[in-house]
């Protein structure tokens, strides 16, 4: 039960990150489309915000991958130990 809940949590988090990445892509496309219409300050502010969001998403994605790798390593270690007994 605990592993099922853990897996569900990982999948929900991955889906959420995917939606956020899609939203970020849409914002980038809007920025590129509207870049000429924006004044420099507003454009720089939007670019900085997009960069910060992108870095945050990368960090969260790498954290999720690390958690999943650690989980798989623990499962493999447990299986190996049970086979040795």
- Condensed to tens digits (0 to 9), the pLDDT of residues 33-70 reads 998 999 999 999 999 999 999 999 999 999 999 998 99
Going from N- to C-terminal start, the domains of the chain cover: 2-84
Across residues 19-32, what is the average pLDDT? 97
CA atoms within 13 A on the CB side of 71: 14
CA–CA separation, 28 and 81 (whole Å): 49
Percent of the chain past pLDDT 90, that is, above it, reads 60
- Rounded-to-integer distance, Cα 58 and Cα 16, Å: 13
Task: Give the 3-state secondary structure of 37-48.
Answer: HCCHHHHHHHHH
Straight-line distance from the first to the last Cα atom of the chain, in angstroms, rounded to the nearest whole number: 25
pTM for the full predicted model: 0.77
């Amino acid at each position: 039960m605990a592993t099922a809940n853990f897996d569900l949590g990982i999948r929900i988090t991955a889906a959420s990150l995917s939606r956020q990445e899609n939203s970020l892509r849409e914002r980038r496309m809007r920025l590129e489309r509207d870049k000429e219409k924006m004044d420099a300050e507003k454009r720089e502010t939007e670019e900085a915000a997009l960069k910060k969001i992108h870095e945050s998403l990368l960090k969260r994605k790498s954290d999720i991958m690390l958690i999943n790798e650690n989980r798989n390593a623990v499962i493999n270690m447990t299986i190996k130990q049970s086979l040795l007994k």
